[in-house]
Amino acid sequence: MRRSLNLMSERARKREQLRRCLRLWSRLLAGVGLLLGIWGFSKWRVCYQEVARQDSVESEYEPIRQLRFESSRLTKQIDTLTSSERIPLALANQQPLLSLIGLATQAVAKHDGRVYLRQIAIEREPLPQESARQPALRFDLQGFAFDNNAVTQLADVLREVGPFAAVELTTNKPSGAVAEAQQVFSIQCTN
């Protein structure tokens, strides 16, 4: 057996004990710090890789984002054009109607003041939604003429020049109000 005698003073022993504790704790803290550093670096690396992957995915979807922006810009432009061009668009929808009224007035003008229109009544036939053809129009022309022959000629001219499916002389009678020679007539044209 071995025996030893410590000849160090009490103060020196406490200092030595303190140094041993400090070395032990410094090694322990250095190990924990190293483990925390490795763990933090691995977490930072995972986050960095996720951010890089997210940036690459976002760069793949950048054209879609630009298309959305362009689509919303074009939608606003269409709305602006539609609101500013509402009257010309309405006239474009009425173009067949206007041309048919023009044909009726041209037919009346060919009679050199022997026929006058008093009223043009127009009715549009409603169509089902799935039908692609133009809705049928019905014109009721009412007026007066100086003789019966002028009314018959007007109906014949409307049959010839107009794209009417049927032109029918519904009433033709003498007018007692203005003069006995004048005729009051009503012609019905369907498109």
The predicted-structure confidence for 81-121, as pLDDT tens digits, reads as follows 877 766 655 655 555 667 777 877 888 888 777 888 888 88
Instruction: Please tell me the predicted confidence (pLDDT) of residue 168.
Output: 86
Compute the distance between CA of residue 137 and CA of residue 166 in angstroms, rounded to an integer: 11
Compute the distance between CA of residue 48 and CA of residue 43 in angstroms, rounded to an integer: 9
At the fourth CATH level, which superfamily is domain 95-127+134-190? Ribosomal protein S6/Translation elongation factor EF1B (3.30.70.60)
User: Where do runs of H (alpha helix) occur along the chain?
Assistant: 10-60, 62-84, 86-109, 148-161
Instruction: Please tell me the predicted confidence (pLDDT) of residue 84.
Output: 72
Compute the distance between CA of residue 136 and CA of residue 31 in angstroms, rounded to an integer: 93
Q: How large is the average pLDDT for residues 159-185?
A: 74
Q: How large is the average pLDDT for residues 149-155?
A: 85
Instruction: Please tell me the predicted confidence (pLDDT) of residue 24.
Output: 95
Instruction: Please tell me the predicted confidence (pLDDT) of residue 126.
Output: 62
More confident residue, 80 or 41: 41
Instruction: Please tell me the predicted confidence (pLDDT) of residue 96.
Output: 64
144 close to 178: Cβ distance less than 8 angstroms: yes
